[in-house]
């Protein structure tokens, strides 16, 4: 084990899209676990859209990331030292250690991952926070009913690709919105979406949605916001539901973007728009993961990962993900489990 640890430190609040220079790599002494703690070597670290929100100085559901702190985030790693009776060296665990090569956590803050069930990276994707977000967001916030008409934005991302497939499992007709032709092909050909559109090739979103969702939209699972979401207000069905999971199109704006005022559409449609956080369903995460695990193992639920190699590329991977460079879950591979 090396004597030094490397960490990404939050160096400056991004203006617009983050830049590599908003993050610094620093070297610090290898930490030692205290009683009840474990030392974990990061195998994979996660970069997710929500992190951009934490980089703002604004009241939100969670504290802002402060300048000088280690960048936050979920990780999967291997225990290299344990001072907790439930964990042994070599155990694979999920934790929230942020962008660093090694990290310390209390035993209550790590969860064992069974590497024989699925690749351990899935604990940060389809069998982790993004997968559970899709599951509870679609079924609970979106109140999905079998056979409904569903639209998913950010359809090729970690959450959207899962949401769309869950809707297919539930017998729905599912249309995806993504940002490249490659993504459009992926969600239709590989994931079984009924149709998909590349929003970068659309100018009149209302007409396009009328065309690809001729029976309207019962449930909209929104990861992006922006003009696609505006057009959904015009095409939502009576008693339709819009589950607002993310608004990635807005996260890198310095000023609040302007869009059409469309709330009056909700009256005629008696439609509902509701935001969601996966943490609100915490007590049901285990049950959700059992269901998702079964779907993954039986091949009903597919996943793809975009893996960037090398700890030092975490900021680059994060920025690329914010710009839509990934298909499926964006991860950074830091080390191989032994």
**Shortest distance, CB of residue 204 to a second copy, whole angstroms?**
14
**Shortest distance, CB of residue 229 to a second copy, whole angstroms?**
7
Three-state DSSP at 187 gives helix
Does 136 bind a second copy (CB under 8 A)? Our answer is no
User: 198: closest CA among 211, 220, 181?
Assistant: 181
Does 251 bind a second copy (CB under 8 A)? Our answer is yes
In the block, tokens 């993310």 appear at 246
d(CA 217, CA 227): 16
Distance of alpha carbon 247 from its chain centroid, rounded? 12
Fill in the DSSP letter of residue 256.
Answer: P
- Among positions 16-75, residues that touch a second copy (CB under 8 A) are 53, 60-61
- Per-residue mark of binding to a second copy, 256-295 (x: CB under 8 A): xxxxxxxxxxxxxxxxxxxxxx--x---------------
User: 109: closest CA among 90, 123, 94?
Assistant: 94
d(CA 60, CA 275): 13
- Among positions 223-242, residues that touch a second copy (CB under 8 A) are 225-226, 229, 238
Instruction: Figure out which of the listed residues 180, 198, 250, 316 binds a second copy, where binding follows CB under 8 A.
Output: 250
**Shortest distance, CB of residue 183 to a second copy, whole angstroms?**
22
| Region of 7-15, 94-102, 200-208, 251-259 interacting with a second copy (CB under 8 A) | 251-259
How many of the chain's residues bind a second copy (CB under 8 A)? 37
**Shortest distance, CB of residue 90 to a second copy, whole angstroms?**
38
d(CA 181, CA 112): 38
Measured from the CB atom, the residue of 203 and 256 that comes closer to a second copy is 256
DSSP string, 92-144: EEEE---SBSEEEEEGGG-EE--TTTS-GGGGGTTTSHHHHHHHHIIIIIS--
Measured from the CB atom, the residue of 28 and 207 that comes closer to a second copy is 207
Measured from the CB atom, the residue of 100 and 247 that comes closer to a second copy is 247
Contact residues for a second copy (CB under 8 A)? 53, 60-61, 222, 225-226, 229, 238, 244-247, 250-251, 256-277, 280
């Amino acid at each position: 084990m090396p004597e030094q640890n490397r960490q990404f430190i939050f160096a400056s609040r991004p203006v617009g899209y983050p830049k590599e220079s908003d993050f610094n790599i620093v070297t610090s002494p290898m930490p030692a676990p205290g009683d009840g703690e474990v030392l974990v070597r990061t195998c994979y670290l996660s970069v997710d859209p929500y992190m951009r929100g934490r980089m703002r100085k604004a009241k939100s559901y969670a504290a802002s990331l402060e300048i000088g702190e280690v960048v936050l985030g979920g990780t999967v790693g291997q225990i290299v030292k344990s001072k907790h009776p439930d964990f042994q060296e070599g155990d694979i665990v999920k934790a929230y250690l942020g962008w660093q090569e090694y990290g310390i956590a209390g035993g209550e803050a790590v969860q064992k991952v069974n590497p024989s069930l699925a690749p351990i990276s899935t604990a940060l994707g389809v069998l982790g926070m993004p997968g559970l977000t899709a599951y509870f967001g679609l079924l609970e916030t979106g109140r999905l009913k079998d056979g409904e008409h569903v639209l998913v934005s950010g359809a090729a991302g970690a959450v959207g690709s899962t949401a769309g497939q869950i809707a297919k499992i539930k017998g729905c007709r599912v249309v995806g919105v993504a940002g490249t032709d490659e993504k459009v092909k992926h969600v239709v050909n590989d994931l079984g979406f009924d149709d998909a559109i590349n929003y970068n090739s659309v100018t009149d979103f209302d007409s396009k949605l009328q065309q690809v969702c001729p029976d309207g939209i019962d449930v909209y699972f929104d990861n992006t916001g922006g003009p696609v979401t505006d057009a959904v207000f015009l095409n939502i069905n009576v008693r339709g539901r819009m589950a607002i999971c993310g608004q990635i199109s807005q996260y890198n704006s310095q000023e609040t973007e302007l869009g059409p005022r469309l709330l009056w559409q909700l009256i005629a449609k008696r439609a509902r728009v509701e935001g969601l956080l996966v943490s609100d369903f915490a007590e049901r995460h285990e049950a959700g993961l059992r269901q998702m695990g079964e779907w993954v193992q039986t091949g009903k639920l597919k996943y793809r990962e975009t893996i960037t190699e090398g700890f030092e590329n975490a900021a680059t991977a994060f920025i690329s993900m914010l710009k839509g460079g990934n298909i499926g879950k964006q991860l950074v591979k830091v080390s191989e489990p032994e």
